[in-house]
């Protein structure tokens, strides 16, 4: 057996050691490379997931915005058929002139006939003052057939009730009554003013408005009216009508701008509010606008006490 020199053996062992170390380094390098590749894949997947998530959120947000814009651009829909121009006409016996009915003789343009038009907000304090001073007088004229009255509920003070939008909800309730029980509209209008809250308060709740409906004798379709109030069926229509009126589209008048609530017209002539508001002054204006003091009867009811607050003729933002 041939013996190799000791030096050769050491050289071989050293070479073998170097080869083993190189193999370990290569294996470690490959593992590191594999780890980095997997890490990059996870990062790309995470970024892609985030991008997809952001895209979904943005798409959802865009969808919501689009729906809001589409809904806001859609017309409010028809109001009550008995309020085709935004108001309801009340004639002899306090009966409503409903869609398809024949107008009463007092609505003609003959000498002595009186046609009163009012634009009111159920939160407006000056409207309450006018109602208190002249409501009974107007009721007597209309009930006797000496006059008709068009009542237009609007909501210019919708932002004056601690966020509850009382003006809007009350006008919606009036529209519900005009639709479901029109012959009791005049009585409901009167009852709302009798329960009028102060401007700046939360006003009546929807449940309170339903209670006012139920307090009016002879009110029909009370359940349907209550549902209409709760659902705010005519709220968008009231808002649209309010915007039209404040923009100067005022049926029953030649006015090009809205002076504020209450706007009261007699045979198309604007009644200028006095301070204080008195029945004597309005009665004189009615007789003058009628064209004949002899043909306009005086109602038997006694006017309410005259209010002392100064009216405000400037509408607030709705």
Residue 234 confidence (pLDDT): 98
153 and 60 within one domain: no
Sheet holding 269-270, edge to edge: 95-96, 88-91, 147-153, 114-120, 263-266, 269-270
**Tens-digit pLDDT profile for residues 244-277:** 999 999 998 999 999 999 999 999 999 999 999 9
CB-facing half-sphere around the CA of 159: CA atoms within 13 A = 5
Structural domain includes residue 61: yes
| Mean residue pLDDT across the chain | 82
**Tens-digit pLDDT profile for residues 280-290:** 999 999 999 99
Among 54, 74, 94, residue at a domain's last position: 74
225 and 137 within one domain: yes
Residue 58: pLDDT band (50, 70, 90) is low
The domain total for the chain is 2
| Cβ–Cβ < 8 Å for 102, 250 | no
Largest separation between any pair of C-alpha atoms in the chain = 157
| Cβ–Cβ < 8 Å for 170, 108 | no
Q: Which CATH number fits the domain that encloses residue 153?
A: 3.40.30.10
DSSP notation for 151-164? EEE--TTTTSSTTS
86 and 62 within one domain: no
Cβ contacts of 302 within 8 Å, gap of 6 or more: 136
Lowest mean pLDDT among 58-72, 147-161, 165-179: 58-72
Among 79, 15, 54, 60, which residue's Cα sits nearest to residue 239? Answer: 79
Residue 74 confidence (pLDDT): 45
Among 58, 74, 90, residue at a domain's last position: 74
- Write down the pTM of the prediction: 0.70
End-to-end Cα, the chain, rounded Å: 116
Structural domain includes residue 8: no
User: Residue 53: exposed, middle, or buried by beta-carbon count in 10 A (0-12, 13-18, 19+)?
Assistant: exposed
* Parent domain of 149: 81-290
Residue 40 confidence (pLDDT): 76
pLDDT, mean of residues 73-85: 77
Phi, psi for residue 117 in degrees, rounded to 5: -125, 130
How many percent of the chain have pLDDT more than 70? Answer: 75
| Cβ–Cβ < 8 Å for 291, 112 | yes
Q: How far is CA 212 from CA 196, 205, 262, 305, in A?
A: 11, 11, 22, 23
113 and 224 within one domain: yes
């Amino acid at each position: 057996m041939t013996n190799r020199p000791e030096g050769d053996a050491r050289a071989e062992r050293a070479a073998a050691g170097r080869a083993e170390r190189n193999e370990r380094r290569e294996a470690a390098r490959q593992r590191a490379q594999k780890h980095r590749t997997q890490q990059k894949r996870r990062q790309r997947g995470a970024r892609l997931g985030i991008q997809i998530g952001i895209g979904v959120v943005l798409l959802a947000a865009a969808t919501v915005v689009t729906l809001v814009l589409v809904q806001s651009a859609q017309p409010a829909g028809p109001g009550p058929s008995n309020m085709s121009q935004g108001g309801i006409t009340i004639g002899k016996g306090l009966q409503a002139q409903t869609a398809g009915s024949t107008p009463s003789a007092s609505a003609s343009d003959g000498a002595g006939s009186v046609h009163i038009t009012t634009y009111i907000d159920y939160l407006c304090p000056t409207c309450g003052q006018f109602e208190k001073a002249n409501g009974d007088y107007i009721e007597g004229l209309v009930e006797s057939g000496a006059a008709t009255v068009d009542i237009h509920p609007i909501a210019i003070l919708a932002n004056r009730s601690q966020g509850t939008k009382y003006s809007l909800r009350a006008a919606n309730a009036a529209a519900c009554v005009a639709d479901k029980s029109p012959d009791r509209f005049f009585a409901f209008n009167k009852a709302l003013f009798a329960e009028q809250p102060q401007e700046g308060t939360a006003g009546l709740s929807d449940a309170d408005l339903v209670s006012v409906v139920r307090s009016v004798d002879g009110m029909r379709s009370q359940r349907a009216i209550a549902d209409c109030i709760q659902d705010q069926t005519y709220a968008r229509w009231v808002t649209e009508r309010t915007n039209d009126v404040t923009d100067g589209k005022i049926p029953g008048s030649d006015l090009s701008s809205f002076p504020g609530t209450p706007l009261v017209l007699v045979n198309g002539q604007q009644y200028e509010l006095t301070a204080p508001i008195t029945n004597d002054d309005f009665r004189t204006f009615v007789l003058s606008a009628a064209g004949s003091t002899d043909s306009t009867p005086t109602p038997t009811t006694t006017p309410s006490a005259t209010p002392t607050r100064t009216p405000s003729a400037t509408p607030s933002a709705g």
